[in-house]
Amino acid sequence: MNESAYALETRNISAWYGKDQVLFNVSAQIPEKKVTAVMGPSGCGKTTFVRTLNGLHQTNPQARATGTILLHGVDTSTLDIVDVRKRMGMVFQRPNPFPTMTVYENVLAGYYLTGCHLSRQKGDEIVETTLKKVGLWDEAQNKLFKAGTSLSGGQQQRLCIARAIAMEPEVILFDEPTSALDPKATAVIEELLSNLKTEYTILFVTHGLQQAARISDFVGFFMLGELVELGETKRIFVTPQDKRTEDYLSGKYG
């Protein structure tokens, strides 16, 4: 795979919480417009890695990170952090629509928060287009001016995905986005991720091996803050190259 095929590349990313180092020299290449799952046991650094990519980890006064992050070949340290987060959207474990905002306002929240003025016509267009992309338009078009929190849990998570993609990011980071959802809502989100990869590069933290196997094209396995291996999902699951990956997949630890 040539260099242009990578949406994201990290070089020697290390991260700390206070004096505790939680990531160790993570170098990874994330393919363009694919779903890459990040898996590993609890406390292995999955979430820290993803939060480091768009600078969220570093917002904690006790946290720091070193190394280089390239977004389509551009060192993100040379970019404004607002621009980085616009280009790398984020969806969290639990649905978190802004409680004081309507469904309509939640979709456009990124524009409001960055001071970008939209005409009503443009706003209407973005809201409808975005909600259709996440399969929420039919369910929510009559609730646009009700609170985002009035939707069901699964609908709220799709609203949060809509909020991320409304800003037209290049990459969407997901931190276990189905962990708080029931199986039916989880299946809807999984199908949505498979559809979204035609337009966006998706990096997806999951604690579920079966989920990683179902929806990802590539898998990165983390253990004790190290990226043990990264490769095509089928290859990792069938013929892992590292004994630690094999042990994890066989259930020896988790």
Q: 100-137 pLDDT, tens per residue?
A: 999 999 999 999 988 888 999 999 999 999 999 999 99
For residue 3, the model assigns a pLDDT of: 45
- Burial of 176 from C-beta contacts in 10 A (0-12 / 13-18 / 19+): buried
For residue 157, count other CB atoms closer than 10 A to its CB: 30
Per-residue pLDDT tens digits for 40-89: 999 999 999 999 999 989 888 999 999 999 999 999 999 999 999 999 99
- Amino acid found at 190: E
* Cα 13 from Cα 41, distance rounded (Å): 19
CB atoms within 10 A of CB 9: 16
Per DSSP bridges, beta strands 74-75 and 63-71 are antiparallel
Q: What is the pTM of this model?
A: 0.93
- Indicate the class that CATH gives domain 3-95+172-249: alpha beta
Mean pLDDT of all residues in the chain?
94
Measured between its terminal Cα atoms, the distance across the chain in Å is 31
